[in-house]
Amino acid sequence: SSNWHPLTWLSHILDAELYGLNPAGHHWTSLLLHISNALLLFFVLRSMSGALWRSALTAALFALHPIHVESVAWVSERKDVLSTFFWMLSLFAYLSYTRRKNLKTYALTFFFFACGLMSKPMVVTLPFVLLLLDYWPLARFRDLREKGKGFPRIFFHLCMEKIPFFVLSGCSGLLTFLVQKEWEAVASFSALPLDARLSNAVISYVRYMV
């Protein structure tokens, strides 16, 4: 399948054990995961920002967005809803870590992150998202500045805190590249030049927004 996502395969295997080839059961699992994701997003945003209705609106838009709904209707896109589930759990655990600063919640964040990577490689972006959340709405940059630390030192401190996450992202990215190359899913630069790749990236961003 040109990807390394063992947890996604295990979820399909479990569905096959429970429902056989009846598609209704497979859709039901994806639907439950999607509902859980929307609820987790709401609770995470509500806890981080304190904004009830804006959090509810964001979660509702997330739940109804065609790209997310497509992953529920398309059973083989299980990796999307499953990786999102672990992504949301990682955010929830990280929120607890920023408030309690203990090893348990840090390890839990890392564990959910690893599970997300084993569901879909797209989760490699999570460490960068955590840095953005540190800036807003968690305001960890401001809190550290109030303790007399300058911006470069604050940024370095928060990056060092996430070194294990960046290392795991790098390993996952390398593993995904090797697997996709093995399955001939990676085109060479002679077949697809750099300028074509860059223009495709720009067009894809616009098309996704539309």
Contacts of 191 (CB under 8 A, 6+ apart): none
Mean predicted confidence (pLDDT) in 101-120: 96
For 23, 61, 91, the CA distances from 123, given in Å and listed in that order, are 27, 21, 12
pLDDT for 143 equals: 83
pLDDT for 144 equals: 84
Point out the least confidently predicted range of 91-95, 141-145, 170-174.
Answer: 141-145
pTM: 0.91
Q: What is the pLDDT of residues 113-159, one digit of tens each?
A: 999 999 999 999 999 999 999 999 999 998 888 877 888 899 999 99
Runs of H (alpha helix) within 4-77: 6-19, 23-49, 52-64, 66-73
pLDDT for 26 equals: 96
Question: What is residue 122's three-state secondary structure?
Answer: helix
